[in-house]
């Protein structure tokens, strides 16, 4: 008994500590906060900026290379026609411009594709985080509603237990009826505590999804509203077409195929020659007797005695491949084929996934109609049995069965509404209707 009181005390303390900073939020507020402050989305945005820098690196292959230097030092020694010691300095520069390189076009395209990949990775992160926040919001509403239903039922059972206690003390019933009523009321304690813990956990997950700071004095969000379900009519063929066009994961998979293809072309550029124009020059502010001795030479004719410029063309071609290029090409081709298989698999699964969700929606709607019709009958039956129990007409077992049946109907309706909202969230995810960063002006829904 001490253990039960200790557990209940912990739960009460837990809710009291959070209840001080509770903030009522709607689903739109949750989605907006997740979009603005979620850590995973912020990381994806940073990766997009990093990819923009990598794009410049890939494009640098087409731009010229300019280098400049100023060699300086002291030259000593004796040689005919020269001073013993001389201080020298001169300027040297070089300019190289690629004229032909087979890797330039695919490198430019790869930079653009990598940027698109980063954008779709951001969209995918947005979809995943918004979807997870939406499911968590529904879970919080469901567990709070489940807790409320069971607390209401426990209240009626406690009233029945108190009534049976009065009847037992008045000698109108035996002790068994009082004990049975008490046990029936206490059976809901564990279920209520479980729903309470699940609700608190969902609130914590909502705060984490929105990037809120958790700690002393933190404001823990409290979902506002109730679970509702509105029947919808879906066009499977049209929605499948929409999903094939808008799904962020499918767009990303297609871009990965394009990127692998460009990477293969870059590797294949090793089979072709490369041509570059060069211009090199030296500016030497000395001449004649003050010429600068060229390192490694013993002839005066090799000395630096004036400024000069040299232009030309550099031509390189690896005629014989030792397997390095061919092996890299094979490896990259296989990577592209793997990505192509993944794309075809995603495209093939979309139709079946949407069909499954549509069937789930239809089954849940049918169940809701069935439970909705049974709710009024179950309530009337429970009320009649409750009155007959007070009059001693029915047994405690009959009352227990009637109350349990009514509780199952109410819980079943709540569960069906929760499952319907989850299925609709899955439908929006599968059809690509979550928010996406793009130039497309077509409205996306939550």
DSSP letter string, 191-203: HHHHHHHHHHHHH
pLDDT tens digit string along 166-178? 767 777 666 776 6
* More confident of the two residues 4 and 157: 157
**What's the CA gap between 354 and 297, in Å, rounded?**
79
pLDDT tens digit string along 208-244? 999 888 777 777 889 998 888 888 888 899 999 999 9
Residue 376 has what pLDDT? 82
Residue 442 has what pLDDT? 41
Sign of the dihedral through C-alpha 84, 85, 89, 93:
positive
Q: Please tell me the least confidently modeled range out of 83-87, 218-222, 287-291, 317-321.
A: 287-291
Residue corresponding to tokens 């990259």: 332
DSSP letter string, 408-422: HHHHHHHHHHHHHHH
Helix H or strand E segment including 280? strand 274-283
pLDDT tens digit string along 328-375? 899 989 999 999 999 999 999 999 999 999 999 999 999 998 888 888
- Give the pairing type, strands 274-283 and 308-316: antiparallel
pTM for the full predicted model: 0.77
At 426, is the secondary structure helix, strand, or coil? helix
Residue 22 has what pLDDT? 61
Confidence of residue 294 (pLDDT cuts 50, 70, 90): low
Name the segment(s) of the chain with CATH classification 1.20.1600.10.
2-37+101-273+317-430
Q: Which CATH number fits domain 2-37+101-273+317-430: 1.10.10.10, 2.60.40.10, 1.20.1600.10, 3.20.20.150?
A: 1.20.1600.10
* More confident of the two residues 319 and 98: 98
pLDDT tens digit string along 415-446? 999 999 999 999 999 999 887 665 443 444 44
């Amino acid at each position: 008994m001490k253990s039960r009181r200790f557990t209940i005390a912990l739960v009460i303390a837990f809710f009291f500590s959070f209840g001080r900073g509770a903030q009522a939020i709607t689903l739109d507020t949750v989605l907006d906060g997740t979009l603005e402050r979620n850590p995973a989305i912020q990381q994806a945005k940073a990766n997009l900026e990093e990819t923009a820098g990598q794009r410049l690196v890939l494009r640098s292959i087409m731009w010229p290379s300019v280098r400049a230097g100023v060699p300086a030092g002291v030259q000593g020694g004796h040689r005919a026609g020269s001073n013993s010691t001389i201080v020298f300095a001169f300027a040297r520069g070089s300019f190289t411009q690629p004229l032909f390189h087979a890797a330039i076009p695919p490198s430019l395209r790869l930079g653009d594709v990598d940027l698109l990949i980063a954008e779709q990775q951001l969209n995918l992160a947005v979809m995943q985080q918004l979807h997870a926040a939406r499911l968590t919001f529904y879970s919080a509403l469901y567990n709070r509603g489940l807790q409320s239903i069971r607390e209401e039922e426990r209240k009626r059972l406690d009233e029945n237990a108190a009534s049976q206690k009065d009847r037992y003390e008045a000698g109108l019933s035996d002790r068994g009826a009082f004990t049975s009523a008490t046990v029936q009321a206490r059976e809901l304690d564990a279920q209520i505590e479980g729903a309470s813990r699940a609700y608190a956990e969902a609130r914590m997950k909502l705060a984490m999804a929105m990037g809120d700071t958790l700690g002393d004095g933190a404001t823990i969000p409290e979902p506002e509203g109730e679970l509702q379900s509105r029947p919808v009519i879906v066009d499977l063929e049209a929605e499948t077409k929409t999903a094939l066009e808008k799904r962020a994961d499918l767009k990303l998979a297609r871009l990965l195929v394009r990127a692998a293809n460009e990477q293969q072309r870059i590797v294949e550029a090793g089979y072709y020659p490369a041509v570059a124009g060069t211009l090199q020059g030296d500016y030497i502010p000395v001449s004649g007797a003050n010429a600068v001795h060229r390192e490694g030479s013993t002839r005066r004719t090799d000395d630096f005695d004036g400024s000069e410029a040299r232009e030309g063309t550099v031509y390189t071609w690896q005629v014989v491949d030792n397997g390095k290029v061919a092996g890299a090409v094979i490896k990259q081709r296989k990577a592209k084929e793997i990505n192509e298989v993944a794309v075809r698999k995603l495209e093939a699964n979309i139709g079946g996934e949407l069909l499954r969700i549509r069937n789930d929606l239809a089954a849940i709607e049918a169940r809701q109609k069935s439970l909705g019709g049974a709710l009024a009958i179950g309530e009337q039956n429970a009320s009649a049995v409750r009155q007959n129990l007070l009059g001693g007409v029915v047994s405690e077992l009959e009352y227990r069965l009637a109350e349990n049946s009514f509780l199952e109907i109410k819980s079943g309706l709540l569960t069906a509404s929760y499952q319907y909202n989850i299925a609709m969230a899955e439908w929006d995810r599968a059809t690509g209707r979550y928010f996406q960063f793009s130039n497309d002006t077509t409205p996306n829904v939550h």
